Amino acid sequence: MLVVTRKQDESIVIGNEIEVMVLRIDRHAVRIGVRAPRHISVHRKEIFEEIKRENIAAAASQVVEITTLKKLIARPEKEDDAKRATAPGCEKSDEPKQE
Amino acid sequence: MKIQNSIVGEVEFGEGDIVTFSEGMLGLPDYKHYVAIESANLKPFLRLQCIDEPSIGFLTIDPAYIEAGYKDYVVAQDPGHVLIDEPEEIMLLVVCTVDEQGTNVTANLQAPVAINHRTMTGRQIILLESPYRLRQSLTAGARRREA
């Protein structure tokens, strides 16, 4: 890992297109600005890692029957429909859209 | 071409159905080709099935089923990705996860999958600073994001 010392308002440049700037330094946190082209995605690492783990878990969770899942998510839908039926003029704004 | 597994059964698809994820899904960068399978059996879920490896796939759902304004939010936030340049061509899907007991199913609203129907390319987007959750429960009484 390359290690450099930077002060507030100083930056480093990565390649030709990416700039990382130190915007503010507090006692326990550093505020960083990143300027990068649109196709480069920039994320907080812990969120990135968490999403990776969630994807891997999702890809593996395929043992449950679809019918079981439908039952799990179907219940509140029916209750909602019942409520709507007694409340005329209530729009079904959260119905699934067909794409 | 055909894909077969216990979730989708046997599904026939053509070259034009294949969605290419040039970076793969997050955490699974090596798998780049998927088909989005809709069927009466799966509805309202869709199976985002990897065709490079039949054991890889995601149970997904149209986020409109969970949260009405979600697509507008994602398009407006534009997390810096080219896919959002053509919002009318984009189908958004969110990945669902089922817990080990099979009693809770959650949807990842923090990292939706955007599929461009015109270019047949896909990308998983990470929303920055969004109010949406990584694990939004879809089960009883918890379907909507709490205000």
CATH number, residue B34: 2.30.290.10
Residue A81, min C-alpha distance to chain B (Å): 13
Q: What DSSP element (H or E) covers B76?
A: helix B70-77
Out of A52, A54, A66, the one facing B45 most closely (by C-beta) is A66
Do B62 and A96 lie within an 8 Å CB cutoff? yes
The DSSP code sequence of A50-99 is HHHHHHHHHHH---S-HHHHHHHHHHHHHHHHHHHHTSTT---TTSPPP-
Query: What six digits make up the tokens of A3?
Result: 């290690």
* A51 occurs within a structural domain: yes
Would you give per-residue pLDDT tens digits along chain A (99 residues)? 999 999 999 999 999 999 999 999 999 999 999 999 877 888 889 999 999 999 998 887 655 677 777 777 765 444 444 444 444 444 444 444 444
Cβ–Cβ gap B59/A62 under 8 Å: yes
pLDDT at B102: 76
Same domain (yes/no): A32, A50 = no
Does B137 have pLDDT greater than 80? Answer: yes
Cβ distance B26 to A50 less than 8 Å, yes or no, reads: no
Residues making up chain B, counted from first to last: 147
Residues of A in contact with B128 (CB under 8 A): 43
Give the separation between CA A84 and CA A78, rounded to whole angstroms.
Answer: 10
The count of structural domains within chain A is: 2
**B59 occurs within a structural domain:** yes
Tell me, yes or no, whether A96 lies in a domain: no
Reported as a single tens digit per residue, the pLDDT across B1-30 is: 888 877 778 888 899 999 999 999 999 999
For residue A53, the enclosing domain spans 44-86
Q: CA triplet A77, B61, B79: central angle to 5 degrees? A: 120
**Confidence check on the interface: ipTM exceeds 0.90, yes or no:** no
Measure the CA–CA gap between A46 and B20, rounded to whole angstroms: 27
- The β-bridge partners of B59 are B47, B96
Residue A61 lies in a domain: yes
B-chain residue closest to A38, CA distance:
B80
pLDDT reading at B94 higher than 90:
yes
